[in-house]
Chains A and B, each alone.
Chain A
C-alpha cells in the first residue's frame, strides 16, 4: 500500500527564528523534492512541510525528518488521511496565521508544480487545490481585508469604486502608510505626491485639491491638515483620509465635512478586528467543506486497494466463462448464429449478476477501515493471489 507522509513545522509550532532556518526558495524546494523521490516541499514564511509518497512510511518519515533535523522538537508528522486533511486545510487557508488568506493557495500550487510527485501525491495536491478553490467560492472567508493597509485600500473602493485614476497624496512615509499606498496602487490608484516636512504649505494645498485619497503618517506634533483648509480646497468633492499617525495628523473635524471620510488607526483596527471575526465564523463553514473533500479523497485512496481485487475477480470469472463455453463448443456448433449469441448473452449476464453484489459490497468496504481485509479475503477465496 502506498502511504502519504507529511513531516513539517509551521507558525503554530515554531517561532520565526526557527522557521527561517528551514525556509527554502523554489529552487531549493525542487532540489529537496528530487532528492526525496516522490515528494513535494511546501515552504512559505509560515510553514515548511515535506510531503512524501512511499510504500515504507517509516523510512519516508525518517528521510524527511533528516532534511528538517534542525527543527526536530517542533516537527509534526502525519500520515495518509490525517496528512491529506492537513494539506486540504492549508490550501483552504484554515491553517494560516490569518484565516482564509489567499496567498497560500498559489503557494500550494507552486509547490506542487516544483515538486516531484508520484500518482498519490499528485492526486492529493490536485484535490487540495480544488478544496481551496471551493472554500473561496462558497464562503466569504477570503473576501474581507485582514490588515490595516488592505482595509484602507478596501475603504477607498467603498468610496470610489474602481480606483483606476484615483490620486493618492502621501503625507510622510511610514511603513504602514507605504503598505497602504502599495495596496492602493495594486488596485489601480496612483501616488500623485509624497509630502514631507520640507513641502511648502501652498504646494501641499495644491496637491490636496486634486487628491482623492490622503494617507498620512508623519511624526508632526500638531495637525498637518485642518478642517477649514480641507473645506476650502475640496468644495464638497469626495475625499478619503487615512490617518495612521499617533499623535494624529488630521483634524477629526474633517470627517464632519460633506464628502470627507476620515479614518484613524483605531477605526481601521476596529474594522480589521470585525472582518477577522467574520473570517473566523466563515471558517466553520470552510472546515465542513474541507472535511467533506478529505472524505472523498479517503474514499478514492481506499478504492485503490479494492479496484485491483475487483478487476482480478471479474477477469477470473470471464476466463471461467470462456473456458466452459469452449468445452461445450461441440454442442454449440449445432446452434445457429442467433442462438449462439443468446448463449453468450445469458452466460455473461449470469456472471455479471453473480458478481454485482460482491462488487458493490467491496466498494462500500473500501471506504471503511477493513477494506484491505475484504480485498485480501476475495483474493484468497477465489485464488487470485497470483494476479496481485
Chain B
C-alpha cells in the first residue's frame, strides 16, 4: 500500500486521540474525573477519525482494502474500539479503557508500520470472500479482545474484593456479576461470527485444494477454546475460572493476529 496525504492526515489525529485516551484513562485511574472525560472524548473522536480513514481507504480502492495483514490490523483496531465504545463511555467502564486503548494505539502503530493505513493495496481475493472471511473473523476477534479485557477487569475487581482493598468504594468498578455477564454475552455473539468466518475460509481452501497453514490451525484451536468457554458457561461455569479461560482464548487470538499471519496473508 502507498501512503496517501489524506490517509496520513487522518491516521495521525486518530493515533494521537487514541494515545490521549490511553493516558487519560491512566490519569482517571489515579484521580477520577476530568481525565476520564477527556479520555472518553479521545476514544469517540479517534474512532470517528479512524472511521474516516477506513472510508478513504474504501473509496480509493477498487475492492476490499483490508485484505493484507497490516490493513486487517487497522480494521481490527477500529472494530475493537467500536465494540468498546458500546460500554466505554459509561463511567464505571472507563477502567476498561485502560486495557483497551493502549492496545489499540500500539496496534494502530503496528498497522501503519506494515503499510496498513495507506491506500492502493489490492488483494487478489474476491470482495465477497474477503468481506465474509476477513470481516467476520476480525469482528469475532474484536469481540474476544473485549471479552478478555472484561475478564482482566473481572480478575482485578475480584482481587480487590479478596484483598479487602480499602479503596474499593472510592474507586468503584463495574460489579463482578456485570463483568462476567458482559464477557459471556460478547463471546456468545463472537463465536458464531468466527464459526462463519472460518467456515467460509475452509470452504474456499477445500474448493481450491490448498493446504492448511499455521494460522488456520491456530484459528480452529481458538474457535475450540471459545466454543468450550460457551459450553462450560452453559453448565454453570463462571467467575474466576471463566475469566482465566477467556485470557487463554485471547492469547490464541494474539498469536493468530500477530505471530503467525505472514504465511497466511502471503
Please give the residue numbers on chain A whose beta carbons come within 8 Å of chain B beta carbons, in ascending order. Answer: 139-140, 143-145, 151, 154-155, 157-161, 236, 238, 255, 258-259, 261, 263, 267, 270-271, 273-275, 278
- Beta-carbon contact of A159 and B169 below 8 Å: no
> A319–B178 Cα gap in the complex (Å)?
72
Docked pose: A238 CA to B241 CA in angstroms: 13
Q: Are B177 and A271 in contact (CB under 8 A)?
A: no
**Contact A144 B169, beta carbon cutoff 8 Å:** yes
Inter-chain contact B177/A160, CB cutoff 8 Å: yes
Say whether A258 contacts B240, CB under 8 Å. yes
CA distance A270 to B178 in the complex (A): 26
Out of A144, A238, A271, name the residue touching B239 (CB < 8 Å): A238
Pairs across A and B, CB under 8 Å, 15 listed: A140-B32, A143-B172, A155-B161, A155-B169, A157-B175, A158-B173, A158-B176, A159-B177, A160-B175, A238-B176, A238-B177, A258-B241, A259-B240, A271-B166, A271-B169
In the complex, the answer to whether A140 meets B33 with C-beta atoms within 8 Å is: yes
Q: A161 touching B33 by the CB < 8 A rule?
A: no
Q: B170: nearest residue on chain A (CB-CB)?
A: A278
Q: Measured between C-beta atoms, what is the minimum distance from B184 to chain A in Å?
A: 14
In the complex, how many residues of chain B place their beta carbon closer than 8 angstroms to a beta carbon of chain A? Answer: 21
Q: Which residues of A contact B240 (CB under 8 A)?
A: 258-259
Closest A residue by C-beta to B164:
A267
Contact residues in B for A274 (Cβ distance below 8 Å): 166-167, 169-170
What residues of chain B lie closer than 8 Å to A155, measured between beta carbons? 161, 168-169
Chain A nearest CB from B266 CB (Å) reads 46
B166 engages A270 (CB within 8 Å): yes
- Scan B143-162; emit 1 where CB is below 8 A from any A CB, else 0: 00000000000000100011
- B175 and A158 contacting across the interface, CB-CB below 8 Å: yes
Instruction: Name A161's closest neighbour in chain B (CB-CB).
Output: B175
Is the CB–CB distance between B169 and A275 below 8 Å? yes
User: What 7 pairs across the A-B complex have the smallest Cβ distances?
Assistant: A161-B175, A274-B166, A161-B178, A278-B170, A261-B161, A270-B166, A144-B169
B239 close to A159 (CB less than 8 A): no
For residue B33, give the distance in angstroms from its CB to the closest CB of chain A: 7
Residues of B within 8 A of A275 (CB): 169-170
Asked whether, in the complex, the Cβ of A273 is within 8 Å of the Cβ of B166, the reply is yes
Decide if B176 touches A144 in the complex (CB within 8 Å). Answer: no
The reply on B114 being an interface residue by CB < 8 A is no
CB-CB under 8 A from B157, the residues of chain A are: 158
A160 to B239 alpha-carbon distance, docked (Å): 12
- Asked if A158 meets B239 with Cβ closer than 8 Å, knowing A140-B32, A140-B33, A267-B164, the reply is no
**Measured between C-beta atoms, what is the minimum distance from A184 to chain B in Å?**
14
**Given contacts A140-B32, A236-B239, A159 and B175 within 8 Å (CB-CB):** yes
Chain B residue nearest to A263 (CB atoms) is: B164
Within the complex, the shortest CB–CB distance from A155 to chain B, in Å, comes to 7
Which residues of the partner chain A approach B32 to less than 8 Å between Cβ atoms? 140
- What is the bound-complex CA distance between A267 and B161, given in angstroms? 11
Q: Is B82 an interface position by the 8 A CB rule?
A: no
B174 interface residue (CB < 8 Å to A): yes
Min C-beta distance of A366 to chain B, whole Å: 33
> Chain B residues near A278 (CB, 8 Å)?
170
Instruction: For the A-B complex with A140-B32, A151-B169, A155-B161 known, give 18 more contacts whose Cβ atoms are closer than 8 Å.
Output: A139-B33, A140-B33, A157-B172, A157-B175, A158-B157, A158-B169, A158-B172, A159-B161, A159-B175, A160-B176, A161-B177, A261-B162, A263-B164, A267-B164, A270-B164, A271-B164, A273-B166, A275-B170
Question: How far, in whole Å, are A150 and B189 apart by their CA atoms in the complex?
Answer: 37
Of all chain B residues, which has the CB nearest A266?
A: B164
In the assembled complex, how far is the CB of residue A244 from the closest CB belonging to chain B, in whole angstroms? Answer: 15
B197 to chain A, nearest CB (A): 32
The CA-CA distance from A140 to B30 in the complex, in Å, is 13
Question: Whose C-beta in chain B lies nearest to the C-beta of A277?
Answer: B170
Among A139, A159, A255, A270, residue most surrounded by chain B Cβ atoms (within 10 Å): A159
Within 8 A of A (CB), among B198-242: 239-241
CA distance A160 to B181 in the complex (A): 11
Which residues of chain B have C-beta atoms less than 8 A from A258's C-beta? 239-241
- Are A255 and B172 in contact, with the CB atoms below 8 A? no
Q: How far is the CB of A276 from chain B (nearest CB, A)?
A: 10
CA distance A259 to B236 in the complex (A): 13
A258 to B161 Cα, complex, angstroms: 12
Across the interface, which residues of B come within 8 angstroms of A267, CB to CB?
164
B175 nearest in chain A by CB position: A161
A255 to B162, CA, bound (A): 7
Bound state CA distance, A263 and B162, in angstroms?
9
Q: Which residues in B have their C-beta under 8 angstroms from that of A157?
A: 172, 175
Task: Enumerate chain A residues within 8 angstroms of B174, measured Cβ to Cβ.
Answer: 161
B241: chain A residues at CB < 8 Å are 258
B162 CB contacts on chain A under 8 angstroms: 255, 261
Of all chain A residues, which has the CB nearest B161?
Answer: A261
Give the distance in Å from the alpha carbon of A144 to the alpha carbon of B139 in the complex.
Answer: 38
**In whole Å, how far is A227's beta carbon from the nearest beta carbon of chain B?**
15
- A residues near B170, Cβ cutoff 8 Å: 140, 144, 274-275, 278
Closest to A140 in B: B32
